[in-house]
Amino acid sequence: MKIRSKVDLPVGQNLQDHTSAIIGPFIMDTPGLTFIPERDMDFSVIKNYITHGTGPITDPASVTALAKISSSKALASRIDWPDVQLYFVPCGVYKELSNILTTTQGYRKKVLDELFQPYFGKDGFLILVTLTRPKSVGEVLLKDKNYASPPIIDPHYLEHPDDLEILIEGIKISMNLVEKSKSYQRLNATYCSKPYSQCLMHPFRSNAYWECYVRHFTISAYHPVGTAKMGYSSDPTAVVDTKLRVRRTRGLRVIDNSIMPVVINANTNAPAVMIGEKGSDIIRTYWAKQLLVCDKYEYLLPNQKKCYYSKLV
């Protein structure tokens, strides 16, 4: 692009993210078990939230339970380090659900309507099967020389065959959990029996069907990391050092989730806070070492430039 760079570093490489496949709806024939806004939202719900801080709208993401699972590939490595996370979303099926997921997750509305429309008004839930140790690695590139142009973000989702296999295994675990556990069977929970139209060429619920399904319904969990990787000076793939300083660059640090060498196998909000706290400590420690501490009230003397604050302060 004929952009003259001052430092040649692999910024934008090593993009890693968690991917989720939405499974459902699972339908329960007992009414009132889940929240359907069109049926259940009234003034008492709002009043209960304002006065007591309880009720269904205390959880805006509608995720009420999580599960960590090690796939067979993870267990075969003899390291019980979970690589699948299940999000349980106990929302009933209602007309606005397709619009919400279209806006927040980027689905096509007609695709979701095909799944949800036959079950409008039914109590149920969704499960998000999430790959938390992906092997596929993407990149972020410049589109052109114009600084205002949006970048090219290519996450390379499901490029590694292991990622697809593990997601399919996570789906099967979810199905078994709902269809064979006593807890869910007491609720008469069942998976919707209508196959997705774009995957009808495969036997319903076969591996080939789930592969087709996953390729249509996989979304980002919004946990991108790694594009300014932290590492030692001997690592050619590193962008920042262990003090978060951009290599071969003065006065510049990166303090966010992009410095992660590998995406963690959990949500990334808390680590982002930790990285911010650690980064601020590093900066404060650096500048504290640049200041000389004055004896007593020497810092009050005119034309004094050797020290900056008193030991008494």
CA distance 197 to 213: 10
Nearest to 196 by CA among 180, 177, 214: 214
CA distance 225 to 261: 8
Write the CA distances from 68 to 80, 189, 224, 309, integer angstroms. 11, 21, 20, 51
- Which of 156, 202, 216, 223 is flagged as catalytic? 223
| 311 contact partners, CB below 8 Å, separation of at least 6 | 293, 294, 295, 296
Please confirm, yes or no, whether 18 is among the known catalytic residues.
no
Task: State the maximum Cα–Cα separation within the chain, in Å, rounded to a whole number.
Answer: 86
Active site residues: 223
